Structure 1
């Protein structure tokens, strides 16, 4: 009897610590270029095992191969986080010396925990649902948003930060992991969205309500506006705005924004140029009925904000961050509260859209349901 596919992926992923220990202690790689070559061979070998795990299956979703490969690298990430925090040793030394030294930073450690716990569990659930005929589109979009946010901060952060002058060949193995989430997101966005069956009368009644008569949506709109203001403000702060308010904030409240590793600066730029426009259109979507795109993009955005804020908050408090860049003890509560809210608001918006999507459905002819309209 063959084990379920998700169990096979789990077991393949558990090979990661053994591979790392062997490369660190038995083979003891010491040169940068061979580390890249061996890394590619390992990833290729994992792909072969993944292919063998579904050789008896027909019509396998191409996303499965990406999800399974990422599951393996997520375990590598968790191994790195545990070693950097002193829970284990003897696994990552060779890779940090000659591969990606930035993985020892506080930001990368928090990123590795997120990958090794949240992404790993999420991918196993997705694979389980995939092979049991259940929808995983929303979970896939959550993962895609989180993974894309991870890469668009990590890669530029390394290049513009203090590790930019010490980039080794192994760093470029991030390129396929940068491209794959975009490819997965494009496939998932094009797939059919499952919707509850709602009559035309109910849709019309819900969509007649103004924003002022929907207190939850009104509150979410106000919170989104607050997130916009906070994103703009911190964008100005990292751009060295000369205003006294900006100067006071970066030195007395959130000095991590000037950490030379580069990740906090890139994060704030991502918020300013990517999160800010999305926050704006979400406010529009809460006000305007029939914006069905809200049901997908809020999930995608919630994953992205949860990932970046987890890394940003964790790194600003982590012992690997120099003391002068950590959040001051007397400013801990206001700074952490604002940052937690910045992650929580998109998540609350996504939950609101998911559990009560009627306002965002396309209008249908009277006497029909949205499901009947689709069939017609």
Structure 2
């Protein structure tokens, strides 16, 4: 039964292709207000068929599942936006680049669509599958929240501050900011309640793996401050050398890379410091949740940042260094920021005695479909 529901979601999502093809041939799509209206109606329509099918088997369906079904439809659209921008397909989304969201024609816009059309689509289908099989999708949901929130917190301000201006279709992105934010609070609220273990936990110096993670987050903090100050125009020879030789993409007139560095400075830095605190004073119940959110955010941030800095839509003078010591620094820094958070999230899940999940004394209603399944 669960596979049928996933199949219906996939089938509904594929209707985005003929819809986009038809709209691309319609003269009315030369009006940005009609583009916005068509996008709104399409997203609403994409929710109806999966919702009707799921309600045959479940009652009181989690609204997050409806959102995942709707977002799956737009993920397929985003995948084809990326493919059309790179010239692999044509005739689907040309109208949208003109009267919808012209800033998607940047390297950042292209790669953010690839990520949404692959990684986010896979996460949506995983969440729906877990829900329909009665299993918890909370951890997958937290990872998705981190990924899409980083996407939106860079993308939305970057669109406004960039050189393209905004049109009515900019508002189509608002649900992708609000719904994941609400879902994130919901997932955190549904965290099981735990009691702290009073057994002695070795100090950080006696836990070499955790000590390495503390050092890693300290270095991440230094990198966040360094790159943040660099894009803000700090007068420093070493920062100037870094911007010119290692990551010239940070100078791109499309402000997305600058926005990402500011997110690292003002948001990620706070997480790094709290993670160091959690490693020093273990048994903090929030550590595993925050590690999953941060891993999702880091995956989206680093995938888009690395690929956009090498993309053909980025002017060659802004391409990242690929060889020599500058190339080694570029790949070392950015791959560490991609891989490290995932290793830490994995450790948090594997060592619950260190991160607050010691003895379950009470649990919120599990995030599954069992309690909502209709009786025969």
- Does TM-score exceed 0.5, indicating one fold? yes
CA 1:2–1:158 in 2, change beyond 3 Å: closer, same or farther?
Answer: closer
Are residues 1:55 and 2:48 paired? no
The alignment of Structure 1 onto Structure 2 pairs a total of residues equal to: 360
Deviations 1:98-124 (A, max 9, x none): 110111111111111111111111110
Aligned to 2:367: none
Alignment of 1:121-132 (within 5 A): 121-132=122-133
* Matched position secondary structure for 1:269: helix
8 Å Cα contact 2:193/2:362 also seen in 1: no
134-143 or 79-88: which moved more? 79-88
Aligned to 1:345: 340
8 Å Cα contact 2:44/2:70 also seen in 1: no
8 Å Cα contact 1:28/1:94 also seen in 2: no
Are residues 1:271 and 2:272 paired? no
Alpha-carbon distance in 1 for matches of 2:270, 2:219:
14
The alpha-carbon deviation at position 3 of structure 1 amounts to: 5.9
Alpha-carbon distance in 2 for matches of 1:20, 1:185:
31
Alpha-carbon distance in 1 for matches of 2:233, 2:201:
46
TM-score, normalised via structure 2 length: 0.91
Q: Which residue among 294, 297, 302 is the counterpart of 1:301?
A: 294
Alpha-carbon distance in 1 for matches of 2:31, 2:65:
33
24-33 or 56-65: which moved more? 24-33
8 Å Cα contact 1:316/1:327 also seen in 2: yes
Q: Which residue among 208, 216, 231 is the counterpart of 1:215?
A: 208
Alpha-carbon distance in 2 for matches of 1:64, 1:28:
33
The alpha-carbon deviation at position 67 of structure 1 amounts to: 1.0
Alignment of 1:55-94 (within 5 A): 55-56=55-56, 57-94=58-95
Alpha-carbon distance in 1 for matches of 2:96, 2:129:
32
Greater RCO structure (CA 8 Å; 6+ sep): 2
CA 1:362–1:55 in 2, change beyond 3 Å: closer, same or farther?
Answer: closer
Alpha-carbon distance in 1 for matches of 2:86, 2:332:
25
Aligned to 1:336: 331
Aligned to 2:184: 185
The alpha-carbon deviation at position 28 of structure 1 amounts to: 6.1
The alpha-carbon deviation at position 177 of structure 1 amounts to: 1.6
* Matched position secondary structure for 1:240: coil
Alignment of 1:235-250 (within 5 A): 235-250=228-243
Aligned to 2:372: none
Alpha-carbon distance in 2 for matches of 1:325, 1:347:
28
Aligned to 2:350: 355
TM-score, normalised via structure 1 length: 0.91
8 Å Cα contact 2:295/2:345 also seen in 1: yes
The alpha-carbon deviation at position 277 of structure 1 amounts to: 0.6
Q: Give the RMSD, CA atoms, in angstroms.
A: 1.9
The alpha-carbon deviation at position 360 of structure 1 amounts to: 1.7
The alpha-carbon deviation at position 26 of structure 1 amounts to: 4.6
Alpha-carbon distance in 2 for matches of 1:265, 1:3:
42
Are residues 1:34 and 2:29 paired? no
8 Å Cα contact 2:295/2:341 also seen in 1: yes
8 Å Cα contact 2:298/2:337 also seen in 1: yes
CA 1:92–1:222 in 2, change beyond 3 Å: closer, same or farther?
Answer: same
Alignment of 1:281-292 (within 5 A): 281-292=274-285
Deviations 1:146-203 (A, max 9, x none): 111110000001111222xx311111111122111101111111113498xx9x9xx5
The alpha-carbon deviation at position 27 of structure 1 amounts to: 5.3
Deviations 1:321-340 (A, max 9, x none): 01011113333332022111
The alpha-carbon deviation at position 15 of structure 1 amounts to: 1.1
**Unpaired segments of 5 or more residues in structure 1?**
364-369
* Matched position secondary structure for 1:358: coil
CA 1:240–1:356 in 2, change beyond 3 Å: closer, same or farther?
Answer: same
Alpha-carbon distance in 1 for matches of 2:301, 2:21:
29
Aligned to 1:99: 100
